[in-house]
């Protein structure tokens, strides 16, 4: 499942995939894979992404039915 909320939050902060990747110490490809729904990040990585984007886990990662 694509994570469009992550992509939107990153864009709202005017961050590139590379800038977010650098902020959370992963590769740009990892950020891309998370956004495309091809990679399920660890809770530790989810928290780091949330902190970097000033969002909560619910805002970025909770699936809404």
Q: How far is CA 56 from CA 29, 49, 51, in A?
A: 23, 9, 8
What domain range includes position 43? 4-61
Give 65's pLDDT tier (boundaries 50, 70, 90).
low
Report field, pTM of the whole predicted structure over 0.85: yes
pLDDT, position 45: 98
Cα angle vertex 30, ends 48, 7, to 5°? Answer: 70
pLDDT digits (tens, 9 = 90+) for 43-62: 999 999 999 999 999 999 98
Give the distance from CA 10 to its chain's centroid: 7
The number of residues making up the chain comes to 65
- State the CATH number of the domain containing residue 35: 1.10.260.40
The predicted pLDDT at position 39 comes to: 95
Note the pLDDT tens digit of each residue in 1-39.
789 999 999 999 999 999 999 999 999 999 999 999 999
Please give the tally of structural domains in the chain: 1
Report the alpha-carbon distance of residue 62 to residue 65 in Å, rounded. Answer: 10
Write out the two tokens for 32: 């891309």
């Amino acid at each position: 499942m694509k994570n469009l909320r992550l992509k939107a939050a990153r864009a709202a902060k005017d961050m590139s995939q590379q800038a977010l990747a650098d902020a959370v110490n992963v590769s740009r490809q990892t950020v891309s894979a998370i956004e495309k729904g091809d990679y399920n990040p660890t809770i530790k990585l989810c928290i780091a992404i949330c902190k970097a984007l000033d969002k909560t886990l619910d805002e970025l990662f909770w699936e809404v039915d």
